[in-house]
Amino acid sequence: MDTQTACDTRTLLILTALKAEYQVARAVVKQWQLDTPAAIRASAYENIVVEQIGMGGRFLKEILPRYYHSQVTGVVTAGLAGACSPELAVGDLVIDSNSCEALRVEEIINAMSNGQRCVIGPIHTSKHMVGDTAEKKELFVKGKFVAVDMENKATFEFAQRRNVPWIGLRTISDTAMDSLPSQIAQFMDSSGNVRPLALTITIAANPGIIGNLMRLGKASNIASRKLAEAIGAVIRSGWPFQA
């Protein structure tokens, strides 16, 4: 079944912010469909839909109304995040502490995703990209947040309004000690996608950021692979679980 077709069947809704995260989730869903017999798929989900909601969930207002009359059985918000806790490393998975059945999901991911390090903790949803190490430290020390993202709060509230289970999955792409280049905003569009020409211009004006961007790219690739493992584990587990 097409993962981009909202319908009156039981639907698991996977929400991602960036194009790269969207592509990861789509690939995982397609592989699950190929590997899993139809009878087993039908017993878990009749449909899985992946949507890209943009940075900060800027497209939520136009996307979520499509599902007001659909049988959404669960909402998964999946993507990369920055660490606030100094104990988290690149590729570690954080399950938002607001997630439904978080402890059981943690156990399943630990069992099904090659021993990926997985922790449960509060994630702060920021209105802006947090790349400054001092700001990350403040969020951890004062707010007790282990990671920071830009979308979890809005998607969690949508799930609450629909009275459906929600889970927030975030893999770490930059640690609490990593600072992100302030110039990132200059070459990313409002959806969080890289604009190649703008990137070229930014690098030409600030060649010193090349090393930082290469490090970030490598870390994002690691985090994306771990995100794929986590999404796959959740789908294969049949979350949200039936009593």
Structural domains in the chain, sorted by start: 10-237 (3.40.50.1580)
pLDDT at position 96 is: 97
pLDDT at position 165 is: 95
pLDDT at position 103 is: 93
Q: How far apart are CA 184 and CA 60, in angstroms?
A: 23
| Paired tokens of 42 | 């039908």
Low-confidence ranges of the chain (pLDDT < 50): 1-6, 243
pLDDT at position 1 is: 36
Alpha helices in the chain (DSSP H): 19-35, 38-44, 60-63, 102-112, 133-143, 152-162, 196-205, 210-237
pLDDT at position 156 is: 96
**pTM listed for this prediction:** 0.88
Q: How far apart are CA 23 and CA 12, in angstroms?
A: 17
pLDDT, one tens digit per residue, over 201-225 is 877 777 777 777 778 789 999 999 9
pLDDT at position 63 is: 92
Q: Which residues contact 124 (CB under 8 A, 6 or more apart)?
A: 84, 139, 143, 145, 147, 148, 149
